[in-house]
Structure 1
Amino acid sequence: MVPRTADRAQVAYFPRLAAERLDIALCRASAAVARAADARTDELGLGVGHHLVLKMLAEVGPCSQRVLSDELRIDRSVMVGLCDTLERAGRVRRERDAEDRRAYAVTLTDPGREALARAEGALPGFLDGTFQALAPEEREQLSFLLRKLLQIHP
């Protein structure tokens, strides 16, 4: 006798798995947020990594790619590509670092500021849509827990 194939509507396995395996739940949630961010990226023409680089440059000023990579926790080889793309688009420029002539400082340009302003303007709507299942206090709690998990102190 051949075993019956489980009917998808009857199994509901993932909710149990997510309850048992927090790592799996977090990975799936992260992937869902990344997909939503990618969809929004297509509309704005500015990827998440590009947005983060522009935001940091706007807030702290010119930085080396190494500092950007370390602070944003983006692999250095990926950071080179992000900065290359931003430079080709005229959103940043690389200049010799006045303090270390061997290094280059990545500097935000006016078109970069404009792109950042558009992305920042769209961010609240993106976050509200992406996290609509959570009440405001739950979003705060999630933020607290993620900071704790990542060992980031406010």
Structure 2
Amino acid sequence: MPAARPSYFQALAAERPDIALCRASAVVAKAGEAHAAATELGVGQHLVLKMLDAVGDCAQQTLAAELRIDRSVMVTVCDDLERSGYIRRERNPKDRRSYAVTITAAGRERLRTAEVAIPGFLAGAFAALTPEERVQLTTLLGKLLATGGASE
């Protein structure tokens, strides 16, 4: 019996890593959104809480830039987190045009709860890869992101 021929998309992905990466990113993003819906904490919300917990208070613009979230989307993310009592926003005393964002005790607790589910989510989202391949993928993606890829 002849070997199965790769699908058109498999052949295309082998030829065009940009397309493969975009499609893989969409698959992982969809899984991430499903996970976020199940845990009732959006991906952007999770990232904001995680960064605030790690680095402390910072400007909303800094959060947007560091997490690569569009500034207009960041406003909505912060609005939702503030309504839930997970963050506080106050005028930045160093720059009255910006907001200083602070994680609250409730936000830290919500983050801890959400973090418990992450290993299971990652195991499912990357089940097709061995642990070594996941490390390799993470390393390669880190290199692409560090150089900015083609453009941002």
TM-score (norm 2): 0.89
Number of positions where the alignment pairs a residue of Structure 1 with one of Structure 2:
144
- Is 1:39 paired with 2:34? yes
Runs of 4+ in structure 1 over 3 Å off = none
Alignment gaps of 5+ in structure 1: 1-8
Q: Give the root-mean-square deviation of aligned CA atoms.
A: 1.7
Q: Which one of the candidate residues 104, 108, 113 is aligned to 1:113?
A: 108
2:137 is aligned to: 142
2:70 is aligned to: 75
Q: Once the 2 structures are TM-superposed, how far is the Cα of residue 14 of structure 1 from its aligned partner? A: 1.2
TM-score (norm 1): 0.87
- Is 1:25 paired with 2:28? no
- Is 1:124 paired with 2:111? no
Q: Which one of the candidate residues 20, 44, 49 is aligned to 1:49?
A: 44
Higher Rg = 1
CA distance in 1, matches of 2:12, 2:96: 53
CA distance in 1, matches of 2:140, 2:99: 36
Q: Once the 2 structures are TM-superposed, how far is the Cα of residue 11 of structure 1 from its aligned partner? A: 7.8
Provide the secondary structure at the position in 1 that maps to 2:58.
coil
Provide the secondary structure at the position in 2 that maps to 1:144.
helix
CA distance in 1, matches of 2:94, 2:18: 43
Task: Give the counterpart letter for 1:98 in structure 2.
Answer: P
Alignment gaps of 5+ in structure 2: 148-152
Equivalent pairs: percent with the same residue? 63
Task: Give the counterpart letter for 1:145 in structure 2.
Answer: L
CA distance in 2, matches of 1:24, 1:103: 38
Q: Once the 2 structures are TM-superposed, how far is the Cα of residue 137 of structure 1 from its aligned partner? A: 1.1
Q: Once the 2 structures are TM-superposed, how far is the Cα of residue 100 of structure 1 from its aligned partner? A: 2.8
